[in-house]
C-alpha cells in the first residue's frame, strides 16, 4: 500500500475476529518497524512483549484491563505490550552516539567526535537529564510513543487491524515481571478486523487551523484546499465518520460476536 493510503486507512479497530490467528511474520514486521524509528540520541528506550491472548492466564488478562480497555483485549488475538526502559541511558553512557559517529551519521562538520560525547554530551546533557525524573519520563515516553505509532501503521500496511490502548498502569509491570527500571507505556491490540476496513469512516479531528500555526502563535498555518484534494485523491484524507450504515454494522457485530448492545 502507498504510504499516504496507509495513513488514511489507519483508524482504531476495536472489533477483531477473535479466533483468526495473526501470522508471526506480520508481528515481526510490526516490531521491525518500531526498531527503525528515529530515536533521540539513538538510546532506544522502547521494549515490547508480544503475547497471544489465549496463552495469557485469565487472571492475568483481567489484571491488564481498564474500564476503557477491556473488551478490546478480549477480542484481539495478539497483544503487544510496550514498555519504556528508563535505565538505558545510564547503561549505555553515550555509546550509541559514538556508533553514530563511527557510522558517519554524526559528522565532525557538526561538532561530533567520541571525545565530544564522552566529555560533554553524556556527562553534561544525558546523565543530568535522567536525574530530572519528570522531564526524563516525558522525553523517553514521547520518544518511544513515536516508534509505536510507526509500528501501528505497519500493522495496517500488513492488512491487519489494530488499536492502541493503555493497559492497567498499576499492574502491567507486575503481570509481565519486567525489570525495575521499565515502565508500562501502551498495548497494541492486533488482529484481523471483524468490522469493515472503513470501520465507520475516518475519525473526527479538530480543525487544522486550530492545531497548527505559522511563524507565531495565533496565526493559523493556511490550509490549501488544493492540497486537501490531492490527499483525498491519494486516499489519505477519507470520508469522515460516521458513514451511513455504521449503527447497523455495530448491531450486526454485536449479534455475531455475542456482545452487549
Ligand atoms: C496512546 C493511546 C491510548 C489509547 N487508549 C485507548 C483506550 O484505552 N481505549 C480505547 O478504546 N481507545 C484508545 N485509544 C484510541 C483512541 O481513542 C483513538 O486514537 C481515537 O479514537 C482517535 O481515532 P482513530 O485512532 O480511529 O483515528 C488510544 C490511542 C492512543 C494513541
Q: Kindly report the protein residue whose alpha carbon is nearest to atom 29 of ligand 1.
A: 164
Order of strands, sheet of 182-191, starting from the edge strand that comes earlier in the sequence: 46-52, 78-85, 182-191, 161-165
**Which atom of ligand 1 has the smallest separation from the CA of 12?**
26
Q: How many CA atoms lie within 13 A of 42 on its CB side?
A: 16
Nearest Cα to Cα of residue 82 among 179, 207, 196, 172: 172
Helix (H) or strand (E) holding 19: none
Does this model's pTM top 0.95? My answer is: yes
Determine the pLDDT at residue 65. 97
**Which atom of ligand 1 has the smallest separation from the CA of 14?**
11
Q: How far is the CA of 128 from the centre of ligand 1 (A)?
A: 33
Ligand 1 neighbour 203 (Cβ under 6 A): yes
The Cα angle at residue 244 between residues 154 and 200, in degrees rounded to 5: 20
Residue 38: how many other CB atoms lie within 10 Å: 9
Q: How far is the CA of 66 from the centre of ligand 1 (A)?
A: 13
Determine the pLDDT at residue 261. 82
Task: Decide if 218 contacts 225 (C-beta within 8 A).
Answer: no
Q: How far is the CA of 240 from the centre of ligand 1 (A)?
A: 17
Q: How far is the CA of 14 from the centre of ligand 1 (A)?
A: 9
Helices and strands (H, E) in the chain, number of each type: 13, 4
Q: Give helix 133-157 / helix 24-35 axis angle, nearest 10°.
A: 140
Report DSSP state, residue 240: B
Ligand 1 neighbour 186 (Cβ under 6 A): yes
Distance, CA of 103 to chain centre: 28
Q: How many CA atoms lie within 13 A of 93 on its CB side?
A: 6
Low-confidence residues in the chain, pLDDT < 70: none
Determine the pLDDT at residue 73. 98
3-256 homologous superfamily: NADH Oxidase (3.40.109.10)
Domain residue limits, the chain: 3-256
Q: How far apart are alpha carbons 26 and 161 in whole angstroms?
A: 12
Q: Kindly report the protein residue whose alpha carbon is nearest to atom 16 of ligand 1.
A: 12
Amino acid at each position: 500500500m502507498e504510504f499516504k493510503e496507509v495513513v488514511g486507512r489507519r483508524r482504531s479497530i476495536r472489533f477483531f475476529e477473535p479466533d483468526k490467528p495473526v501470522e508471526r511474520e506480520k508481528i515481526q514486521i510490526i516490531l521491525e518497524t518500531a526498531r527503525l524509528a528515529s530515536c533521540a540520541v539513538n538510546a532506544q528506550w522502547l521494549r515490547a512483549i508480544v503475547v497471544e491472548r489465549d496463552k495469557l492466564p485469565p487472571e492475568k488478562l483481567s489484571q491488564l484491563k481498564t474500564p476503557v480497555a477491556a473488551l478490546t483485549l478480549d477480542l484481539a488475538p495478539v497483544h503487544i505490550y510496550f514498555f519504556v526502559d528508563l535505565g538505558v541511558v545510564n547503561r549505555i553512557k553515550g555509546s550509541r552516539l559514538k556508533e553514530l559517529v563511527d557510522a558517519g551519521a554524526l559528522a565532525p562538520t557538526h561538532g561530533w567526535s567520541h571525545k565530544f560525547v564522552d566529555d560533554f554530551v553524556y556527562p553534561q546533557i544525558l546523565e543530568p537529564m535522567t536525574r530530572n525524573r519528570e522531564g526524563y519520563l516525558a522525553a523517553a515516553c514521547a520518544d518511544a510513543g513515536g516508534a509505536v505509532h510507526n509500528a501501528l501503521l505497519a500493522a495496517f500496511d500488513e492488512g491487519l487491524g489494530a488499536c492502541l490502548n493503555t493497559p492497567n498502569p498499576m499492574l502491567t509491570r507486575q503481570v509481565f515481571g519486567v525489570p525495575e527500571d521499565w515502565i508500562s507505556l501502551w498495548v497494541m491490540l492486533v488482529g484481523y478486523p471483524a468490522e469493515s476496513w472503513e470501520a465507520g469512516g475516518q475519525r473526527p479531528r479538530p480543525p487544522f487551523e486550530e492545531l497548527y500555526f505559522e511563524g507565531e502563535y495565533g496565526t493559523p498555518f493556511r490550509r490549501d484546499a488544493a492540497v486537501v484534494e490531492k490527499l483525498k485523491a491519494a486516499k489519505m484524507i477519507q470520508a469522515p465518520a460516521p458513514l451511513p450504515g455504521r449503527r447497523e454494522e455495530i448491531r450486526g457485530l454485536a449479534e455475531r460476536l455475542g456482545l452487549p448492545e
